[in-house]
Structure 1
Amino acid sequence: MKKSLWLFIMITFTFLLLLGCSSNNEEADKGESDDDSTKSGEQIEISFSWWGDTGRHEKYNEIIDLFEEAYPNIKVDRQFGGWEDYWDRLTTQVSGGNAPDVVSMHQFYVSDYARRGALHVLNDKVENGELDLSDFPEAALDSGKVGEDIVMVAKGITMPGFVYNTAVFDDLGIDYPESDWTWDDFVDKAYEIKEAMGGDGWAVEDGSGGQLQPLFRYFARQSGQDLFTEDGKLGFDEQVLTDWWTMWDQMRQDGVIPDAATSNEYEGLPLEANMFATKKVALLGLPANQMYLYEEQMAEGEINIVRHPHIEGGPNGEYIEGAYLSITEDSPHKDAAAKFIEFFVSNDEAIKIFKTEQGPPAGTKASNLVLEELTLPEQRAVEYIQTTVELAEPAAYAPEGVNQVETLFSDNAEAIAFGQKSVEQAVADFLNEARSILEQ
């Protein structure tokens, strides 16, 4: 009887022990999904995509190498290309359900992706410290929001302008452009440059089309309008667009900017082969953080930057611009993706590599660390950004459908350049179709 009782107790105890282990395992399995594999040491792979030139690719690969050393169980698949190719590919990847885990994002496009549900909302990860952005100023953190949702994290903040090489202007015998110039001054300077260059080049690349921002967006904002309204409608009228395309078309007809065929020939070439680096043009619209890249390519002179021209008596066109990182909603490895983003924007060694690649880092500690590492051209860029960012005013986020609107803008500008449409016809066609797209 005693033996039977003892045996019963032992069996019951063993059963309860096994039940407890099973329960604990179930809880562990529940908490450790594929997304939580960074804690288990399981070998996983995340993908990261970005746009840029050869120099940026090298820097980003260095940062990724450091990350993989710090997290040996996480391998990063690297996807990169030029600006236009990047967005075409990302659109296709999102539509096909195979977008990278971490994607480079831009303020101009973020709301389109966010409103489609393609970007993961990061509020919880930021609030619980899983994605530690406690060193970010509130303005930098807010710049990554669409509404109240944090959907992207700033890598760097920048401001664009027109850059020039002092040696080129000195050789031409022309005064440097003034920082507080108007569009009338810009046109006058362009004609002056072309006269001095003769048949050896042009004043500036054709800025009539391509991206809606920043050039045309500045012009629209300086006219008291903008690209879009807060409720997602087109924010500028027929007269503003007519004035814009007429200005560029007149300069094209006068040979001050390149003809359409030449512009297409140089489109998409690497930095070292583009029209500004090869001194085919003397002015170039550029984000300030890229100034140093051109100074590295040129044997003489200093690359300086001035504000975009403004409209006499009009408001400022400036708005805060930046480059960001987002996690896609379909990513199976959101925890690992968050670790990667935090490493990218806060690791000391990563910051020293990044420097001002896409503007000074957003984090306070990171930006202070970068200042100790900058070359003279990079210091000039930071000084310009710090000065012009004070002029910036809020800008409405682009609505869903912005990619189609931007393609439409580019196509109509190109049609004018090739003489296939008059300015009036292109303006009418663009406005009709753009409004149709945004009202869907």
Structure 2
Amino acid sequence: MRASGRVDRRGLLKITGGSVAALGLTAAGCGTGGGSADGTVTIRYAWWGADDRAKRINKSIELFEKKHPKIKVKTDFQDYVAFWEKFQTQAAGGNPPDVFQCAIAFLRKYDKRGVLLDLKQQVDAGNLKMTGFRSGLEKVGEVDGKLLGVPVGSNTMSLVIDEKVFEKAGVTPKQGWTWDQYFAALKKIRDTQHRAGDSGYFGVMYLYDLYLRQQGKAFFTEKGLGFDEADLREWWADGYAAVRSGLVADPKKVVQIAPKSAVSDGMAASEFTWDNFSVRYDSEGDSTYGLAPVPTTDGEKTGQYLSSLMLSASARTKYPQQVAQFIDFMVHDPEVGKIMGYDRGILATEAQYKAFRPSDPVNKAIAAYEEKTAAAGVFGPVTPHPAGADTVEAAFLRIGTDLGVGKTKTADAVRQFFSEAKSALAG
């Protein structure tokens, strides 16, 4: 059975984890999926994404079922918000999908509740290979000695720029440029091109994480937050000052044009986002857009790491071997790589990465950006997020937006964030 659904990107950015925070259960030995008299088993696979992703995944599953005729895959997908709402209901009822799309923000949360299968036993049994991954990605799904997720793609934070505006302003971003140089560039763009230089960097949690990592800190530690109120007060105060000076676009106007980007709208000349999200700008705008390096504190460290969508498995599945074989096929098979392309980020394994070589300029640029960033030696390990991280991320975006549009003051926003974060991380 093939389900259908549509992605809500605005919801994806704003609701990370909202409704799943209350989930609490302990996994038992009962399972999902189903079997038949001839030994054929059916496993359930669920994910979030748009219709195009569903078409690609369904085509990949057809290949898998030809190679494994005794394993059938029943699929289900929705947009991001609906996916997690449904997952909460299924998991609470003891009937989660056998295998499902996941991300680092959810690993500790659902492991704590006994939802996730430790896949290390399947690696040891030879049903799942954790070799041949790019840039250390095989470690991304490891939490507290367990293998809770297997990467299917990678992405990293980047600075998307309107190349025509930067060129007219005489600004050329280079690897290792500093935050001082970045803000000088925004000022030059404002003064010569009469538009904001940035769309609103201070509300991007993952950018703030990089900034903290450049200073030897991090947004999250394994148990909580890796920064204090003084750190955030400085970040948000500087960001709000940049809005008042015109270096950053007016958040009220940015909200009004959403979900369209302020960069593709022509309101701002740059925007921090994940590199694989850059495909949106060509379709939304009428300029030319490129990927520039993340600014640094010391001219060297960007704080970057490779993040990833993953495939995780249910601790309740009756068919751990078949689930592991399915995951292995989806992340290693070269034909799957050709079918999926960069839909979920740059392909995670070398076999799939080599099998798919993009022909369009945008995806070529994304691949080139990750290759150049890797060659610069700036990638570091990502800290596994603590349980409740998804709710904290949503709070950071919401409160940062309220600050930007003038609904709250910096000191109040900081106090509110830490109060909500403390509650979320204590659950």
Instruction: With the length of structure 1 as denominator, give the TM-score of the two structures.
Output: 0.77
Residue matched to 2:158 = 161
Summarize the Cα distance change of 1:265–1:60 in structure 2 as closer, same or farther, 3 Å threshold: farther
3-state SS in 2 of match to 1:246: helix
Specify whether residues 186 and 138 from structure 1 end up closer, same or farther in structure 2 by C-alpha distance, changes over 3 A only: closer
SS in structure 1 at match of 2:269? strand
Partner of 2:26: none
Q: 1:258 to 1:293 in 2, by over 3 A?
A: closer
**Superposed, which structure 2 residues align to 1:25-424 within 5 Å?**
37=35, 40=38, 42=40, 44=42, 46-51=44-49, 55-67=52-64, 74-82=72-80, 86-87=83-84, 90-91=87-88, 93-95=90-92, 97-136=94-133, 139-170=136-167, 172-198=168-194, 202-209=196-203, 212=205, 214-230=206-222, 232-267=223-258, 269=259, 273-292=260-279, 294-295=281-282, 301=288, 303-312=289-298, 315-371=301-357, 373-389=358-374, 390-424=377-411
Change (3 A) 1:262 1:119: farther
1:94-133 Cα distance to aligned partner (Å, 9 max, x none): 4454543322222233222222222111111121122344
Q: Tell me how far apart the structure 1 counterparts of residues 198 and 256 of structure 2 sit (CA, whole Å).
A: 15
Q: Judging changes above 3 Å, is the alpha-carbon distance between structure 1 residues 250 and 351 closer, same or farther for their aligned structure 2 residues? A: same
Alpha-carbon distance in 1 for matches of 2:83, 2:420: 25
Amino acid at match of 2:393: E
What is the alpha-carbon root mean square deviation over aligned residues?
A: 3.3
Shift of 1:43: 6.6
Say if 2:119 and 2:147, in contact at 8 Å, map to a contact too.
yes
| Contact 1:102/1:337 (<8 A) preserved | yes
Matched to 1:208, the amino acid is: F
Conserved 8 A contact 1:74-1:336: no
Unaligned runs of 5+ in 1: 1-32
State the 1:436 CA deviation: 4.6
CA distance 1:159–1:249, shift in 2 (3 Å): same
CA distance in 1, matches of 2:83, 2:182: 31
Corresponding residue SS for 2:382: coil
CA spacing shift, 1:260–1:286, aligned 2, 3 Å: closer
Is the deviation greater in 110-119 or in 186-195?
Answer: 186-195
Aligned to 1:4: none
Is the contact between residue 36 and residue 335 of structure 1 (CA under 8 Å) also seen in structure 2?
Answer: no
Structure (1 or 2) with the greater helix fraction: 1
Shift of 1:86: 4.9
SS in 2 for 1:221: helix
Contact kept in structure 1, 2:178 and 2:299, CA below 8 Å: no
- Provide the rounded CA distance (Å) in 1 between the counterparts of 2:127 and 2:257: 45
The 3 A distance-change label for structure 1 pair 243 and 94 is farther
The question of whether the paired residues in 2 share the 8 Å contact of 1:203 and 1:282 is answered with: yes
SS at match of 1:113: helix
Aligned 8 A contact 1:38 1:74 in 2: no
SS at match of 2:418: helix
Change (3 A) 1:233 1:299: closer
Question: 1:391 offset after TM fit, Å?
Answer: 1.1
The structure having more radius of gyration, on CA atoms, is 1
Which letter maps to 1:59? R
| Cα drift, residue 159 of structure 1 | 2.0
Deviates more, 1:146-155 or 1:325-334: 325-334
2:160·2:270 contact (CA, 8 Å) conserved in 1?
yes
Secondary structure of 1:219's match? helix
Sequence identity percentage: 24
Shift in Å at residue 195 of structure 1?
4.0
**Structure 2: which amino acid aligns with 1:421?**
T
